[in-house]
Amino acid sequence: MQDAPSVPLPLDAPLPVELAGQGQGWFTRYRRYPVFSAPWARQRTLAWLLPVGLVLLFIAGGAVLGSPDRRPWAAVLGLSMSLLLPLLLGPWLGVWVRRRGWPLRQEGRALLAAMGLLVAGVLAVDRFVAEPVKQWVAERIGDVDASGQRNKIALQIGVMVEPVIRGDPAASAAEPAPKRAEAPSDPASPLNLGLRGLLAFWLGGGFALQAWRREHEALAALANARALTEAQAKRREAELRLSVLAAQVEPHFLFNTLAGVRSAIASDPARASEMIDRLVDYLRAAIPRLRSDGAAQATVGGQLDIVRAYLGLMASRLPRLQYSVAAPPELLHAHCPPLMLISLAENAVKHGVERKIGPARVDVRAERSADGRLALTVEDDGVGFGVSASGSGLGLSNLRERLAQLYGERASLELKLRPQGGVAATITVPLEESA
């Protein structure tokens, strides 16, 4: 694992849905948060207290039923300390370590050391603190033998509770009690210490170290995936800009315009001059915005300026074309997806107006829709749905994909065949004021 910053997101914030999922129940809801975060520790403790408490009640009930002449509460108290101490302290040791903000490798070592310290502490408490406390409790309730030592018990979960036999006090000195091998239930036996240490490690969150490692790997993979998605979106945005920019200044576009100017110079000098003026106006309106306008800067007014200059230039080439561009003043500064309105206007001219014989008209307007969104409409009275591809090599499917990337389901592109002929294309997006 690389030695990188260990906190890629706020510790108290839930994990991304891609990692935590949405199906967590009451007992596992702590997994929605980073491992060894405060919400994780708090909810894990509350969730685990219920089964641990039930286990303690079960053991206490078994102790009472198995030994009616004794009440071994001291042993039950010691077992409770062995279970509750790591459960209550372990996760918060991990929280303390994670809040240091150490590099990932150092944090992993510190968490492992904290879990080891917890196990050692629990075993030390059980050896040097719990035993005196249990002896004190046993003396108060009278659960001691003839020598004043508490009566120790051997617990067999779910089976029985039996006293540990030290020897027959009535036996004669000539017949000493036989020497017994150390029982597995002896608290000081290596097996018992190992089991207690493993239990403390588990309850304290030691096995969550694996989840902590997987969490960092998953977060890194998710960050890479999101960065890739963002890079792909930026690339598509750049491709969109380049394709539209190329469409605006592509050679045949300029050649057609200049050819019209040349043919009009001899027959209609005024029209030739107007075409040159319109071309200059269009380039001035289009090129700076194509270079600088991003999704955050594009406004309705700015995009309408490009469309107005474009239609003006087309009208100078095709005198039979009439057009209008209109929008309420209060909508001119509203945010507008860049480069889409001009694409619809190009579609209307190329696939509607140019294919029609006789006068033609294109109307562009921005308005507030019935549901309060921004509606941008381009209408023409041309030949209608002659072809499905859009002008300038930019397909309508690409526009829909771009709208989905920017707004999700809150935006739409709708094409309708007009009763009087032609097509009405409407982009509907959320109405937002531009910064």
CATH classification of 251-429 is 3.40.50.720, yes or no? no
- pLDDT under 70: residue ranges of the chain: 1-9, 22-23, 63-64, 66-72, 153-188, 238-254, 286-297, 386-395, 434-435
Interval 372-419: pLDDT, tens: 999 999 999 998 875 444 433 456 887 888 888 888 899 999 999 998
CA neighbours closer than 13 Å in the CB half-sphere of residue 101: 2
pTM: predicted TM-score of the whole model, two decimal places: 0.51
Interval 310-352: pLDDT, tens: 899 889 888 999 999 999 999 999 999 887 898 899 889 988 9
Domain boundaries, the chain: 17-164+181-222, 251-429
